[in-house]
Structure 1
Amino acid sequence: MNTVTKEQIKNELANYVAKIGSQNAASKRLTNVSNATISNILADKWDNIGETMWLSIQKQVTVSLDGWQVVTNVRRVKQLHQLYSDAKDFSEVFCVVAPAGSGKSQPATLFTEHPNVYRVVCKEHFSRKTFLVELLTAMGKDGSGYTIHELMNEVLNSILKAEKPLIILDEVDKLNDQVLYFFISIYNTTEDKCGIVLQATDFFKKRITRGVSANRKGYKEIYSRFGRNFVELPNNTDRDLAEIIKANGVKEEGEIIRITNQSEGDIRRIKRLVKAFLRKEAA
Structure 2
Amino acid sequence: MEQVMEYTTEEKQQIIDLLQYKREQSSLGSDAKFAVSIGLNKGVYSQLKNGRYTNKGGKSLLSHQNWVRIARFVGYSHHSELSWKTARTQVFSVISAQLTFCQQHSTTGIFCDIAGIGKSHAGKAYAEQNTNAFYLNCGEAPKKSGFIKLLARTLGFEQAGSLEQLFMDCVYYLKTLTNPIVILDEAGDLEQSAVLLLKRLYNELEFACGLYMLGAEGLRKKMDTGVRLRKNGYEEIFSRFGGKYTRLIPEGHERLKFMRAMARDIVEAQGIKNQEAIKNILTISAGFDMRRIRKEVMKVQLEERLNSN
Give the TM-score taking structure 1 as reference length. 0.80
Q: How does 1:59-74 map to 2 (within 5 A)?
A: 63-64=74-75, 67-74=82-89
**Counterpart Cα distance in 1 of 2:71 and 2:18:** 13
1:138 to 154, 157, 167: 154
**Counterpart Cα distance in 2 of 1:243 and 1:51:** 41
Return closer, same or farther for 1:136/1:7 CA change in 2, 3 Å cut-off: closer
Question: Does structure 1 residue 242 correspond to structure 2 residue 264?
Answer: yes
Displacement of 1:162 in angstroms is 1.3
1:198 alignment partner in structure 2: 213
**Counterpart Cα distance in 2 of 1:213 and 1:29:** 38
Q: How does 1:152-231 map to 2 (within 5 A)?
A: 152-231=167-246
Displacement of 1:91 in angstroms is 0.7
**Counterpart Cα distance in 2 of 1:160 and 1:186:** 11
Return closer, same or farther for 1:146/1:51 CA change in 2, 3 Å cut-off: closer
SS in 2 for 1:268: helix
Moved more, 240-249 or 184-193: 240-249
1:33 alignment partner in structure 2: 45
**Counterpart Cα distance in 2 of 1:174 and 1:7:** 34
**Counterpart Cα distance in 2 of 1:115 and 1:60:** 23
The Cα offsets for residues 62-99 of structure 1, whole Å up to 9 and x where unpaired, read as 85385542434221111111111111111110111111
Displacement of 1:220 in angstroms is 0.7
Displacement of 1:279 in angstroms is 3.5
**Counterpart Cα distance in 1 of 2:208 and 2:101:** 13
**Counterpart Cα distance in 1 of 2:180 and 2:93:** 20
1:269 alignment partner in structure 2: 292
SS in 1 for 2:219: helix
Displacement of 1:161 in angstroms is 1.1
Decide whether the 8 Å contact of 2:138 with 2:187 is kept in 1: yes
Return closer, same or farther for 1:72/1:243 CA change in 2, 3 Å cut-off: closer
Return closer, same or farther for 1:70/1:278 CA change in 2, 3 Å cut-off: closer
**Counterpart Cα distance in 2 of 1:125 and 1:28:** 17
**Residue identity matched to 2:290:** I
Decide whether the 8 Å contact of 1:165 with 1:194 is kept in 2: yes
Decide whether the 8 Å contact of 2:87 with 2:269 is kept in 1: no
Task: Give the aligned length.
Answer: 262
SS in 1 for 2:101: helix
2:24 alignment partner in structure 1: 14
Moved more, 234-243 or 207-216: 234-243
SS in 1 for 2:235: helix
Query: Percent same amino acid at aligned positions?
Result: 21
Unaligned ranges ≥5, structure 2: 1-9, 55-66, 251-257
SS in 1 for 2:110: strand
Unaligned ranges ≥5, structure 1: 39-48
**Residue identity matched to 2:207:** D
SS in 2 for 1:197: strand
The Cα offsets for residues 259-281 of structure 1, whole Å up to 9 and x where unpaired, read as 22332121001011222333444
Return closer, same or farther for 1:213/1:268 CA change in 2, 3 Å cut-off: same
2:135 to 100, 119, 132: 119
Q: How does 1:98-109 map to 2 (within 5 A)?
A: 98-109=113-124
Return closer, same or farther for 1:28/1:270 CA change in 2, 3 Å cut-off: closer
**Residue identity matched to 1:241:** A
Q: CA RMSD in A?
A: 3.0
Question: Does structure 1 residue 258 correspond to structure 2 residue 280?
Answer: yes
The Cα offsets for residues 19-54 of structure 1, whole Å up to 9 and x where unpaired, read as 00234533555642339x97xxxxxxxxxx54869x
**Counterpart Cα distance in 2 of 1:258 and 1:60:** 31
2:95 to 53, 77, 80: 80
Give the TM-score taking structure 2 as reference length. 0.74
**Residue identity matched to 2:284:** Q
SS in 1 for 2:86: coil
**Residue identity matched to 1:204:** L
Displacement of 1:239 in angstroms is 2.7
Return closer, same or farther for 1:91/1:60 CA change in 2, 3 Å cut-off: farther
Moved more, 262-271 or 190-199: 262-271
